[in-house]
Amino acid sequence: MQIVILDGHTANPGDLSWDGLSTLGELTVYDRTSAAETVERARNAEVVLTNKVVLGRAEIEQLPRLRYIGVLATGYNVVDVDAARERGIVVTNVPAYSTESVAQMVFAHLLAVTNRTEHYANENRSGRWSASPDFCYWDSPLTELAGKTFGIVGLGNIGSRVAAIANAFAMRVVAVTSKPAEQLPPYVTKVSADELWATGDVISLHCPLSAATRNLVNRDTLQRVKPSAIIINTGRGPLVNEVDMADALRSHRLAAYCADVMANEPPLADNPLLQCPTAHLTPHIAWASTEARQRLVSVATANVRAWVEGRPQNVV
């Protein structure tokens, strides 16, 4: 059985092992694959694994030997699931592998804004503390999180973990969620979207991307939030209208925007958020801790093994 990984570099740039997959068949790993290379590289494979390389209807129809697609991620929008189903091709994903790492990144961003640790570390590298006439100094407000309102849009695995951590910081946690209020933890209050936008000191986005949530944060939304609010997006880039967000930051209608995801990845060089000093952007790395990537590889391997043994798991 031939197994092909189309874009293995981001999940495993060399610090992990694909040996588990190589015991299941003849394994070929490509670091990156362009759209023009996809069909040729996957042509003889029965099993194809992909992270971001698209396997749409056109590609699937040109791969007669293909029997299994494993997505090296939780989201599987890169695969035309209907086309795969018509051919009897099993499609699997890797759910919840990055929950802890993404939740951690939410608070890494938040604390970077409220405590400015990197700013002060950089200042001290240039000798500022050594030259200070006092035992300490600060040149920006330092914000305590306890008692502030932490608003969450979407209470799936990651949103729920973020809620628990916010509660541990003694924050008031409110959420927009489809879950009934009686099913929520006692420290989470279900609210309307209007209330969340109006009262949130911190607003964290964890909802799926859909027609209803695309550009969820836009000019109108941003006019309803507190000027002191911090919006954090570790969900999907297109949840936020980035032009409107940049306008809000430049006009000081929002204190900060923290994002690990962008509408285009990598972002276009002229994206206005790249030049905003109150936009704190990381390059889609919340999922990429060593521990999370190891879970990803392990579960992806277990998914293929389970399919080989006739008991497929994590089928989408």
| Helix segments in the chain, DSSP class H | 19-22, 38-42, 57-61, 81-86, 99-115, 117-125, 157-168, 193-199, 219-224, 242-250, 290-308
Q: Annotated catalytic, 265? A: yes
At residue 156, the pLDDT reads 95
pLDDT at 307: 98
Tokens read off for 173: 């946690």
Strand partners, 149: 172
What is the predicted pLDDT for the residue at 25?
97
Cα–Cα distances (Å) from 185 to 41, 107, 161, 219, 256, in that order, read 48, 20, 11, 32, 28
Distances (CA, A) of 216 to 67, 177, 268: 37, 14, 21
d(CA 56, CA 69): 11
Share the mean pLDDT of the chain: 97
Amino acid at the residue 89 = I
- For 59-73, how does the pLDDT look when each residue is reduced to its tens digit (9 = 90+)? 999 999 999 999 999
Question: If you average pLDDT over residues 25-30, what whole number do you get?
Answer: 98
Q: Which of 236, 280, 293, 295 is catalytic?
A: 236
Q: Give the list of residues 6+ apart from residue 214 with CB closer than 8 angstroms, or none.
A: 238, 239
Question: What pLDDT sits at residue 63?
Answer: 98
For 137-158, write each residue's pLDDT tens digit.
999 999 999 999 999 999 999 9
- Predicted confidence band at 56 (pLDDT cuts at 50, 70, 90)? very high
Please name the helix (run of DSSP H) or strand (run of DSSP E) that holds residue 4, with its range, or none: strand 2-5
Show the tokens assigned to 51: 């992270």
User: Which of 301, 313, 280 lies closest to 108, judged by CA?
Assistant: 280
**Looking at residue 18, what is its pLDDT?**
98
CA distance 134 to 144: 23
Active-site residue, 236 included: yes
pLDDT band at 174 (very low <50, low <70, confident <90, very high): very high
Give the per-residue pLDDT at 130.
97
- Whole-number pLDDT of residue 111: 98
Instruction: Read off the pLDDT band of 100 (50, 70, 90).
Output: very high
* Domains of the chain by start residue, with CATH: 2-97+290-308 (3.40.50.720), 99-125+140-281 (3.40.50.720)
Please compute the mean of the pLDDT values over residues 253-272 and round it to a whole number: 96
Q: Tell me which of 224, 250, 284, 305 is the catalytic residue.
A: 284
Q: pLDDT at position 68, please?
A: 98
